[in-house]
Amino acid sequence: MEVEFRRRCERDDVLLVGTNRSLCFRSMQDVRPDAMVIRDTYRSLWRDQKFGEIYHRDFWKPSECWKVGPAHRRVTHCDQYVRQAPGWQGRPAVDRNGELAVMRNSSVAIMAANWAWLRGARTIGLIGVDYRGRHAAMIEPFDSASAGWEGQYDKPVSRAIQRQFAGAAAAIEAGGGSLVNFSTNSRLNAIRFAGWRGVLGAGI
């Protein structure tokens, strides 16, 4: 995304939420997310767990952002753990442990979107949720590390994933919000494309 978009995201009316490996993306090195969400654990981010351990130690834990992880797998260091429940969670649903629920999902992007909704976000834009080729270029030593699923995103987006995103988008719209995709080359056709300027405004 261009510099103007990055500057727009620095304003107080934007909640910038990263996912999984994004702290070591080359394109994210000058970006400070407000929060990071991980759906599984740091040990599952790369085929060789040593890369996950480096990432967890040197990038994830030292990051000053708020960290959200799965309640059923409390391995990754997090500030908050959330559980998965059927359907989009439009309102905070706290269990006896004080943990919020998010929509049961196969994508960390849905988990992040539902968490952001519960924090008050009503216009949610996806960036890099493309389901096309490899993930974003990474810095060393992760740039040549295998994630363990090469070729997965060369295939069409599964019907299950499309249904989950469509369900999330429908629930958000029913709640008076919107879920859009800022990535023009995304294969995720369950979410409509929208230019970021039209959604966020281009003012600095």
Q: pLDDT by residue (tens digit) across 85-102? A: 999 999 999 999 889 999
pLDDT of residue 165: 98
| Per-residue confidence band for 203, with pLDDT thresholds at 50, 70 and 90 | low
CA distances, 110 to each of 58, 64, 119, 122, 158 (Å): 26, 23, 14, 14, 15
Q: How many angstroms separate the CA atoms of 120 and 138, rounded?
A: 31
Q: pLDDT by residue (tens digit) across 111-167? A: 999 999 999 999 999 999 999 877 789 999 999 999 887 767 778 899 999 999 999
pLDDT of residue 148: 83
Q: What is the mean pLDDT of the chain?
A: 94
Sorted by where each begins, the domain ranges of the chain are: 3-132+140-200
Q: Per-residue pLDDT averaged across 55-67, rounded?
A: 98
pTM, rounded to two decimals: 0.95
pLDDT of residue 134: 74
Please list, in sequence order, all residues whose beta carbon lies within 8 angstroms of the beta carbon of residue 58, skipping any fewer than 6 positions away: none
Q: Per-residue pLDDT averaged across 61-90, rounded?
A: 97
